[in-house]
Structure 1
Amino acid sequence: MKKRWVAMALLVSVLVPGCGGGTSIQTPSGTTPPAAEDPAGPGSQDSGPGNGEPGGQAGAEDPAGSADPGEAVGPGGPAPDPAPPNVTWKPSGIGYPLVPSDPSVDRKVAMLTFDDGPSAYTPQVLAGLREAGVKAVFFITGYGAAQHPELVRRIHEEGHLLGIHTMTHPNMTELSREEQIAEIQPLIDLITEVTGQPPKYFRPPYGAYNDQLLATLDELGLELINWSNGSLDWDGVVDGYKDPNQVVADVLDQLHPGAVILAHDTMKHTAEAVPLIIQALRAEGYDFVVLP
């Protein structure tokens, strides 16, 4: 315990000038960010490389959702008409697809989410999203924010949603309540400073969670968001790279209405795949949404 608190004290420096005058996060020299998470990593009980589903505890009821495509055309390909106003989309349970707040709404939607950043590839991801007119959720890390503080603000300014992916990417089920809070609170402070609002959503590394983590998140006012489509952008990587077209194929293999797609803005091939994924899903009649 003492060693972890000493490490966190060295790692975290909040409320210091940075990121355009707001909160910044610093990491000690020599800190190496972990590799992109494996959805079937530590703590995963139900997942495997074949399906990309998150681990942790059992989810809730099965979701629903389908729709007819519209006629609008954008840079990423044909786009369905916008969803009806005042309709929001959230998972029906942890690791389950999105369902609309209005059960009468019948549309095919998906949500792009990016973990582990920001990184040097985040600007390319943002460019692909911007050109296609798509918004996404970025679950940021402390080490990513420390290395690229300007990108935290840019993600927000370009209309995307910021969520929390912990300071150092540990398996949160192995930590005490106090250690869990130390992994989360600095990013709550940072995102609140950048956006003016406290963040709402948290994604656990490896998709791993337990009752203690759920209690900690409830205490901090956060909701756990896992994924229902793993993208497999982390699988089959050779020398740090994978064919972007294979990433698209892996997403399509797991595609379903309400898909919450896990990807990593720390990977070159993922950044290259973003416009291709958007185009492919729009060709299937999907619209893109974000959490409320």
Structure 2
Amino acid sequence: MKQALSICGVTLISALLLSACQTTNPTASETNSMTSSLTQSNSNTTDASSDSALATSEKILEEEEIKPVEYTYNVNPAIFTIEPLNKEDNTKVALLTFDDAPDTHAVEIAKKLKSIDAPAVFFVNGMYIESEEGKQKLKDIYDMGFEIGNHSQTHANLSEITPEEQRQEIIKTNELVYEITGEKPRFFRAPYGVNTDVSAQIIEEEKMVFMNWTYGYDWEADYQNSEALTDIMLNTEYLNDGANLLMHDRSWTNEATIAIAEGLKEKGYTLIDPALIASPEREESTQ
């Protein structure tokens, strides 16, 4: 009887051991299931890490986007010079501006300026950016880092058209520029420098800044060659601190661009970055 019990005990223990061994050595099906579970767990961990990294990256970008712009200059509304907000800042600055863009030469002018690190404002006419070619030209200029201003839709004299037509001249160009660049122009330059009470009201509504100029010559017959234009732009009596230089999308201006920009630097002028010039639209968007 004891022997029988002993045999039974051994048999039982063996069965338990065998059962235990089977438990710690899963079948192929169980192994696949465990592997799948482990892979899924690792995948979830990786996804969580990726999501966390993406969220951090987006937060950084968000913070960069809402970082307030620190303006250091503004446009004198009476004489359109560029003046420092802090009187202790550099006053010997000049602003390069180009009207009637992007007609024929604006992209090439922009490339030349970019090559010598010379900032500028390109004032566009909406009629030049309605075609796919025109849109691409504007996008190219914008992507090079240049400020885009509004120079009206058709270059009409605002004093000779109705209030509603004036509104269309300004608003339509704003909409086109925004559609192409994602940014609305901050500066408005009226054709021929002719502003009206109506345009002033529209500009205020659009939170823009009027920007005429202090001098320019490239539309005059005597200066429609690069040498004469370069000479007058650098040696005119109107070249003073805060000068706001007016030029156009013209072949002779294109040829003179680098000489004018470099000449200003040689005379000790800092070519002001338009991004540093205050405007109510951007001030409000960063508050």
TM over 0.5: yes
The superposition leaves residues 82-117 of structure 1 with CA deviations (integer Å, 9 ceiling, x where unpaired) of xxx945222212443110121111341101111011
1:115 aligns to what SS in structure 2? Answer: strand
Q: Does 1:211 align with 2:197?
A: yes
| AA of the residue aligned to 2:263 | A
Structure 1 distance, partners of 2:78, 2:210, is 7
Counting matched residue pairs gives: 203
What does 1:242-257 correspond to in 2, within 5 Å? 242-252=224-234, 253=236, 254-257=238-241
Moved over 4 A (4+): none
1:233 paired residue number: 218
1:176 paired residue number: 162
Listed as ranges, the gaps of 5+ residues in structure 1 are 1-84
Q: Does 1:152 align with 2:138?
A: yes
Which of 111, 121, 146 is matched with 1:137 structurally?
A: 121
More helix by share: 2
1:146 aligns to what SS in structure 2? Answer: coil
The superposition leaves residues 165-197 of structure 1 with CA deviations (integer Å, 9 ceiling, x where unpaired) of 111111112223211111111211122223323
What does 1:186-205 correspond to in 2, within 5 Å? 186-205=172-191
**8 Å Cα contact 1:94/1:224 also seen in 2:** no
Identical columns (%): 31
Deviation at 1:268, TM superposition (A): 0.4
Structure 1 distance, partners of 2:72, 2:99, is 22
CA RMSD of aligned residues (A): 1.8
1:118 paired residue number: 102
Deviation at 1:280, TM superposition (A): 0.8
**8 Å Cα contact 1:94/1:226 also seen in 2:** no
1:105 paired residue number: 89
Which of 248, 266, 277 is matched with 1:264 structurally?
A: 248
1:127 paired residue number: 111
Alignment CA distance shift 1:94-1:226 (3 Å): farther
Structure 1 distance, partners of 2:196, 2:169, is 16
Structure with larger Rg:
2
| AA of the residue aligned to 2:239 | L
Listed as ranges, the gaps of 5+ residues in structure 2 are 1-68, 278-287
**8 Å Cα contact 2:77/2:210 also seen in 1:** no
2:44 paired residue number: none
Structure 2 distance, partners of 1:108, 1:135, is 15
Which of 264, 272, 276 is matched with 1:281 structurally?
A: 264
The superposition leaves residues 40-79 of structure 1 with CA deviations (integer Å, 9 ceiling, x where unpaired) of xxxxxxxxxxxxxxxxxxxxxxxxxxxxxxxxxxxxxxxx
**8 Å Cα contact 2:166/2:198 also seen in 1:** no
The superposition leaves residues 213-246 of structure 1 with CA deviations (integer Å, 9 ceiling, x where unpaired) of 211211222221100122x011016xxx822121
Structure 1 distance, partners of 2:92, 2:137, is 31
Structure 2 distance, partners of 1:110, 1:270, is 17
Structure 1 distance, partners of 2:226, 2:78, is 28
1:227 aligns to what SS in structure 2? Answer: coil
Structure 1 distance, partners of 2:71, 2:169, is 33
Structure 1 distance, partners of 2:184, 2:167, is 15
Structure 1 distance, partners of 2:147, 2:155, is 20
Structure 1 distance, partners of 2:255, 2:114, is 14
Structure 2 distance, partners of 1:185, 1:279, is 35
Alignment CA distance shift 1:197-1:124 (3 Å): closer
Deviation at 1:141, TM superposition (A): 0.4
Q: Does 1:164 align with 2:150?
A: yes
Deviation at 1:211, TM superposition (A): 1.8
